[in-house]
Amino acid sequence: MSDDHCILSVDRLSMRFGGIVAVNELSFEAGRKKITALIGPNGAGKTTVFNCITGFYKPTGGTMRLASDGGPIALERLNDFRISKQAKVARTFQNIRLFPGMTVLENLMVAQHNTLMRASGLTFLGLLGVPSWRTAEKSAIEHATFWLNRIGLYDRADDAAGNLPYGDQRRLEIARAMCTEPVLLCLDEPAAGLNARESAALSELLLSIRAEQGTSILLIEHDMSVVMEISDHVVVMDYGVKIAEGAPHDVRDDPRVIAAYLGADEEEAIAVMESDR
Amino acid sequence: MGYVTASATDHKQPRAGIAFILKKALISAFVALVLFSLMIGIRTEAGPTGQLIYWTRFGELATLVAIVFVGSIAIELVRQWLGPAGASQLVPAPVQNGLAAAGRYVAPALLIFTLLVPVIFYRQRYILDLGILVLTYVMLGWGLNVVVGLAGLLDLGYVAFYAVGAYSYALFATTFGLSFWICLPIAGILASLWGVMLGFPVLRLRGDYLAIVTLAFGEIIRLVIVNWQSLTGGPNGISSIPRPTLFGIPLTPGPNGLAAKLGIAFDPTHRLVFLFYVILAMALLTNWVTIRLRRLPIGRAWEALREDEVACRALGINTTTTKLTAFATGALFGGFAGAFFATRQGFISPESFTFQESALVLAIVVLGGMGSQLGVALAALAMIGGFELFRGLEQYRMLVFGIAMVLLMIWRPRGLIGHRAPTVYLKQAQAISSDLVKEGHG
């Protein structure tokens, strides 16, 4: 894929923790304005890949190139907060990480930290309350309100984030990530713990983010109904390596994928599939 | 764990707890028996020729064990009467709502009262002196509140910045003859530089580790002051530090003094009143800046850092600079307060900057409710003023004071004002319950 079609290309990514190889020479590409799903059994190394892409781990080998407007960015050279600030890659977490003691609106305001920091003249102009700061703050609140409406939490804007029901917290975390205006949104199991109705609403939200904001999405997911419904491309991992990739329906029928999920030998899986037909 | 089981059984059968209460009381009595049998039951002393003499006091031992047994039953009965154990149950909801409503008028009332203190108590130097002391601690508490309450970084060495501020003013004023108002910003800036210097090595530390390093930092500063004799005068301290002036007019009895210029009779209380308003203005400035900062991105980043550091990084917030600015801001106010302390006392020595001061300021912040400006002010008033109030109790003062603190922490484990006020709202600002607000990881 060329840069026009590909937002992220991961090339021979490896991550070792001492003697344990969590990710071994993984290569895949995530399409621009596409939803790419990373699936695989527990312990396959999916979250490790995410932590490498979002700068929480420094990979032991390989490259990750993000095609941004200002030219390609080597993600493996950025670390920590710079991934979000400079490369515009946002993420959510498997176990929700909101700011529970802050209100829903405040959570979305914190996400706009870097924009607001500039507008407040690194705090000094903001301390004096100059008009340009006031307008910047107002537009930040408007931006947050826009996302509150998108996730249907406008009425709960002034409630503590920790008081929201589980499904709302999941959606708020996605909205908070979107408030950083990312080019790539990485979602770590966004449908975990959601019921069927909430899962459907989540799929709808992700599709609308791709369509309206044009944000590329990379997601880890166990809920196959969500993966099959919304993803354009699926990458399957097991034991730190890629075992299959392709369109959702091709991957679903791949014997290696079934073997990985069922924990059976390849021949057995093929035998199972053939007996089905 | 006993309490947990107790409340669990209470739910099912609230009245039938007699066996449980007796069992608990027996266990308490047994523990008391084991503990006291050697401490109270047997008394040993060295005899006239150096041999060991001992005799038994089983009567006293029996009395104490009985007290523990009856006391345990009484405590358990009170607990059952109050309902299942739990902090929220101890304070009924209407009382809490009432407190919240009253809270809206406490701050303005307190401010007006404080402004009038020098007028009301003009003839009572002791009250004025105490007021100045309380306000100094209010300012220190508000300064430390930025670091501990907002950013959630546990700092046990806050007195170091207080010391840096005090010594900066003392040295600049005695060596170069600079006035208080010029030295004040210098003292603040130097203290906040030390704040950044402390911040760098402790950036990666959390919780207990951070507390230990900041504690050590506070001691290092004090020991440097003690040992650097040529600069700081060592344990002898620095004396004859200039008093503050009103735009260059000294508050002295001479012909150049303020009293002479105004054509009124000189009174030493004038200076006390002046100092009172100076520290009040400085404390209010601290308060105003902190309230402003909370509503700016940096303040929200501090609070977000307290809530979840990992999420902050994922949102592109530079946690390094965020922590450093918290340390620097807290230290800045500590430095201002230190400069004021030096000019008020006229004499400073390392003895004023011991760990006890850090602990006292931290206690004010924790008792007040971390992050709450009003809570910290009330706690400073209670801690410093209350300590003076118990002066009549003489040697029991510490005991009564300690019991009061323990009771307060049982009654309100998250401090006097534990809830958090949001910094921005769409429709209505709602206080956030202290159960949700994190205390930070250190």
Q: So what's the pLDDT on residue B88?
A: 46
Give A39-79 pLDDT, tens digit per residue: 888 888 889 998 999 888 888 988 888 888 778 888 888 87
pLDDT (mean) for B358-362: 90
pLDDT (mean) for B276-302: 93
Q: Which residue has the higher pLDDT, B144 or B237?
A: B144
H or E stretch at B108: helix B93-120
pLDDT (mean) for A141-168: 91
Torsion A92-B314-A19-A235 (CA) sign: positive
- pLDDT band for position B11 (50/70/90)? very low
Q: Which amino acid is at B130?
A: L
pLDDT (mean) for B177-184: 87
Indicate whether B25 and B157 sit together in one domain: no
Give A158-212 pLDDT, tens digit per residue: 989 999 999 899 999 999 999 999 999 999 999 888 888 888 899 999 999 999 9
- pLDDT band for position B1 (50/70/90)? very low
- pLDDT band for position B87 (50/70/90)? very low
Q: Which amino acid is at A127?
A: L
CA distance A65 to A32: 13
Q: Residue A272 pLDDT more than 60? A: no
- pLDDT band for position B141 (50/70/90)? very high
> Could B437 and A101 be called an inter-chain contact, meaning their C-beta atoms sit closer than 8 Å?
yes
Q: Which of A109, A80, A83 shows the shortest CA–CA distance to A176? A: A109
> Could A100 and B429 be called an inter-chain contact, meaning their C-beta atoms sit closer than 8 Å?
no
Long-range contacts of A250-254 (CB under 8 A, 24+ apart): A251/A39, A252/A224, A252/A228
Q: Which residue has the higher pLDDT, B66 or B15?
A: B66
Of B90, B124, B139, the last residue of a domain is B90
> Could A103 and B303 be called an inter-chain contact, meaning their C-beta atoms sit closer than 8 Å?
no
CA-based nearest residue in chain A for residue B425: A158
CA-based nearest residue in chain B for residue A125: B296
Indicate whether B78 and B133 sit together in one domain: no
ipTM attached to this prediction: 0.87
The boundaries of the domain holding residue B1 are 1-90
Q: Which of B292, B291, B300 shows the shortest CA–CA distance to B322? A: B300
- pLDDT band for position B442 (50/70/90)? low
Q: Residue B5 pLDDT more than 70? A: no
B436 part of a folded domain: no
Q: So what's the pLDDT on residue B126?
A: 87
CA distance B104 to B119: 25
| Region of poorest pLDDT, from A43-47, B8-12, B263-267 | B8-12
Q: So what's the pLDDT on residue B92?
A: 58
B46 part of a folded domain: yes
Quick check: B149 and B365 in contact, CB under 8 A?
yes
Q: So what's the pLDDT on residue B164?
A: 94
Indicate whether B200 and B150 sit together in one domain: yes
A113 close to B (CB below 8 A): yes
Q: So what's the pLDDT on residue B21?
A: 85
- pLDDT band for position B366 (50/70/90)? confident
Q: Residue B85 pLDDT more than 50? A: no
Indicate whether B307 and B214 sit together in one domain: yes
- Residue A81: list chain B partners with CB under 8 A: 312-313, 315-319
- Residue A52: list chain B partners with CB under 8 A: none
Long-range contacts of B247-251 (CB under 8 A, 24+ apart): B248/B179
Indicate whether B84 and B105 sit together in one domain: no
Indicate whether B235 and B110 sit together in one domain: yes
Q: Residue B347 pLDDT more than 70? A: yes
CA distance A209 to chain B (A): 18
Q: So what's the pLDDT on residue A266?
A: 55
> Could A81 and B420 be called an inter-chain contact, meaning their C-beta atoms sit closer than 8 Å?
no
B435 part of a folded domain: no
CA distance B380 to B140: 9
Structure tokens at A90: 């946002």
Q: So what's the pLDDT on residue A209?
A: 92
Number of domains chain B is built from: 2
CA distance B319 to B312: 7
- Residue A103: list chain B partners with CB under 8 A: 422, 424-425, 430, 432
Q: So what's the pLDDT on residue B324?
A: 92
Q: So what's the pLDDT on residue B91?
A: 52
Contacts with B, A 116-145, CB within 8 Å: 116-117, 120, 123, 126-127, 129, 141, 145
Structure tokens at B425: 């709202």
Q: Residue B99 pLDDT more than 70? A: no
Averaged pLDDT score across all residues of chain B? 83
Q: So what's the pLDDT on residue B136?
A: 94
Indicate whether B33 and B147 sit together in one domain: no
Quick check: A172 and A161 in contact, CB under 8 A?
yes
Indicate whether B19 and B126 sit together in one domain: no
- Residue A97: list chain B partners with CB under 8 A: 308, 310-311, 314
Of B296, B314, B316, the CB nearest to A123: B296
B434 part of a folded domain: no
- pLDDT band for position A269 (50/70/90)? low
CA distance A203 to chain B (A): 23
In a mutational test of the B interface, the residue from A79, A92, A94, A113 whose CB has the highest number of chain B CBs within 10 Å is A113
- pLDDT band for position B86 (50/70/90)? very low
In a mutational test of the B interface, the residue from A53, A75, A103 whose CB has the highest number of chain B CBs within 10 Å is A103
Q: So what's the pLDDT on residue B127?
A: 87
Of B90, B112, B131, the last residue of a domain is B90
Quick check: A177 and A193 in contact, CB under 8 A?
no
Quick check: A50 and A75 in contact, CB under 8 A?
no
Locus of tokens 């049998």: B37
Give B28-82 pLDDT, tens digit per residue: 899 988 888 888 888 888 878 878 888 888 888 889 899 999 998 888 887 777 6
Quick check: B287 and B142 in contact, CB under 8 A?
yes
A56 close to B (CB below 8 A): yes
- Residue A159: list chain B partners with CB under 8 A: 430
φ and ψ of A103, to 5 deg: -75, 165
* Sheet hosting strand A184-188, strand order edge to edge: A89-91, A184-188, A216-220, A35-39, A233-238, A241-246
Coil/strand/helix, residue A16: strand
> Could A84 and B314 be called an inter-chain contact, meaning their C-beta atoms sit closer than 8 Å?
yes
Q: Which amino acid is at B77?
A: L
Burial of residue B396 (CB within 10 Å: 0-12, 13-18, 19+) is exposed
Coil/strand/helix, residue B45: strand
Question: Domains of chain A, with CATH numbers?
Answer: 6-88+182-276 (3.40.50.300), 104-180 (no CATH)
Of B315, B318, B420, the CB nearest to A101: B420
A103 close to B (CB below 8 A): yes
pLDDT (mean) for B393-398: 75
Q: So what's the pLDDT on residue A227?
A: 87
- pLDDT band for position B94 (50/70/90)? low
Q: Residue B380 pLDDT more than 50? A: yes
The residues pairing with A90 across neighbouring beta strands, listed in sequence order, are A185
Indicate whether B84 and B180 sit together in one domain: no
CA-based nearest residue in chain A for residue B300: A110
Indicate whether B325 and B228 sit together in one domain: yes
Indicate whether B292 and B390 sit together in one domain: yes
A-B Cβ pairs (cutoff 8 Å, strict): 138
pLDDT (mean) for B194-217: 86
- pLDDT band for position B106 (50/70/90)? confident
Q: So what's the pLDDT on residue B110?
A: 85
Q: Cβ neighbours of residue B136 under 8 Å, at least 6 residues apart? A: B279, B337, B340, B341, B344
